[in-house]
Amino acid sequence: MNKRWNNRPENSTWGEWGEDDQLGRLNLIDQRKVLQGIAEVKVGKTFCLSLPLDYPGGQVLNKVRFPPVIKPVIRNDAPYFNYMWNRSNPEHKDIGSDDVVLLHTQYSTQWDSLAHRGKLFDINGDGNLKPVYYNGFRAGEDVAIDEKHETKAKALGIEHMATHGVQGRGVLVDLFSEYGEFPRKEVGYDDLMRIMERDDVEVEEGDILCLWTGLDQMIMRMQGEPDHSINKASAVLDGFDKKLLNWIIDSKVAAIASDNLAVEAVGKKLTPESNGTNLPIHELCLFRLGVHLGELWYLADLANWLRKHNRSKFLLTAPPLRLTGAVGSPVTPIATV
């Protein structure tokens, strides 16, 4: 029994960290896990795990998300860009520039917050489905939109992730070396376990799992003008594989990130077993477990370095923007090895 729900989804973590918890499994990244991450720093080399935020380019991967538009602030009725302050006082020699950005928060390298995907669920156990998110927060009341289309995740906004810090131990699994770019492979539990065993990769409670598929290097190669081949390229997780979902539950990973669009395959058909979703990993992670999903990360350089040095673990520092009420955020993750 909880003030927001009295029926919690099967295999969920709702209530595990308190009835108002908004962090989900980020709670598993505690001081001990941060120190475990820091212990992976051996040579002090850093990797930027973000694409340029105007990549992938165009709308080939997602029709409704657009690259950032950057404009100048207007000051004294003029664009405040290369602004000559001698306009107001001839003795000034200063010049100044300020940006305004229209940013689709999930266009490029990003985190999904726990308010990104919810579900119609019988939260009261009375047979009525209600639109809710992780830990029973309500669509409408808690994740709100008004008549002017102004939105605010009053609960589960991305700022909670930012204040946590998202610094811990990252573990990378190299799917690219096994599956390459074409044909796209849907990776199930058996595939994942085989590759982890091959590369001697172990994932422990509270680790941030990073799955490298090679889509990032295709995106970089296409230099902002991707063609439709990227919609069929590189590995994705098979969210319809029950064994894989069970592994995500049992492994207690704190978050999952990948260089592909959605971690899992998109555009699939519902099945009688898929629990009313065609993105079962999103449903499991964001709605039930409180596992944030990172998408379109740039993992290639890190992955190649780790392989060369026979390693899979690193310190990962990946706070999103502290953008109150947003349901996703760009991120510039940094790996330190």
Kindly report the backbone phi and psi dihedral angles of residue 14, in degrees, each rounded to the nearest multiple of 5, phi listed first: -50, 130
C-alpha–C-alpha distance, residues 40 and 33, integer Å: 11
C-alpha–C-alpha distance, residues 155 and 174, integer Å: 35
Report the residue number, 154 or 268, with the smaller CB distance to ligand UVW: 268
In the region spanning residues 206 to 245, those forming contacts with ligand UVW, defined by CB under 6 A, are none
Report the residue number, 112 or 159, with the smaller CB distance to ligand UVW: 112
CA 269 to chain centre: 23
Report the residue number, 51 or 262, with the smaller CB distance to ligand UVW: 262
* Residue count, binding to ligand UVW (CB under 6 A): 8
Report the residue number, 51 or 306, with the smaller CB distance to ligand UVW: 51
Report the residue number, 114 or 316, with the smaller CB distance to ligand UVW: 114
Question: Least distance (Å) from ligand UVW to the CB of residue 327?
Answer: 10
C-alpha–C-alpha distance, residues 104 and 107, integer Å: 5
Task: Give me the 170-209 binding string for ligand UVW, x by CB under 6 A, dash otherwise.
Answer: ----------------------------------------
Report the residue number, 106 or 312, with the smaller CB distance to ligand UVW: 106
C-alpha–C-alpha distance, residues 287 and 308, integer Å: 37
Q: Which residues contact 172 (CB under 8 A, 6 or more apart)?
A: 201, 210, 211, 212, 299, 302, 303, 306, 312, 313, 314
In the region spanning residues 21 to 60, those forming contacts with ligand UVW, defined by CB under 6 A, are none
Question: Least distance (Å) from ligand UVW to the CB of residue 28?
Answer: 21
Query: Are 83 and 75 within 8 A, CB to CB?
Result: yes
Question: Least distance (Å) from ligand UVW to the CB of residue 106?
Answer: 5
Could you tell me the strand order of the sheet in which 313-317 lies? 46-48, 334-336, 313-317, 167-174, 208-212, 255-258, 292-295, 110-112, 328-330
C-alpha–C-alpha distance, residues 112 and 300, integer Å: 21
Q: How do beta strands 186-187 and 236-237 pair? A: parallel
Question: Least distance (Å) from ligand UVW to the CB of residue 170?
Answer: 20
Query: Are 217 and 300 within 8 A, CB to CB?
Result: yes
C-alpha–C-alpha distance, residues 12 and 149, integer Å: 31
In the region spanning residues 100 to 159, those forming contacts with ligand UVW, defined by CB under 6 A, are 106, 112
Question: Least distance (Å) from ligand UVW to the CB of residue 81?
Answer: 32
Question: Least distance (Å) from ligand UVW to the CB of residue 64?
Answer: 9
Rule CB under 6 A: choose which of 62, 177, 304, 332 binds ligand UVW: 62
Question: Least distance (Å) from ligand UVW to the CB of residue 253?
Answer: 17
Q: Residue number with the shortest CB distance to ligand UVW?
A: 262
Residue in 104, 101, 113 with CA at minimum distance from that of residue 56: 104
Residue in 292, 287, 289, 326 with CA at minimum distance from that of residue 134: 287
In the region spanning residues 250 to 289, those forming contacts with ligand UVW, defined by CB under 6 A, are 261-262, 266, 282
Report the residue number, 62 or 251, with the smaller CB distance to ligand UVW: 62
C-alpha–C-alpha distance, residues 302 and 290, integer Å: 26
Question: Least distance (Å) from ligand UVW to the CB of residue 324?
Answer: 21
Report the residue number, 40 or 216, with the smaller CB distance to ligand UVW: 216
Rule CB under 6 A: choose which of 172, 187, 295, 314 binds ligand UVW: 295
Report the residue number, 37 or 226, with the smaller CB distance to ligand UVW: 226
Residue in 134, 136, 114, 133 with CA at minimum distance from that of residue 123: 136
Question: Least distance (Å) from ligand UVW to the CB of residue 237?
Answer: 12
Question: In the complex, which residues of this chain contact ligand UVW (CB under 6 A)?
Answer: 62, 106, 112, 261-262, 266, 282, 295
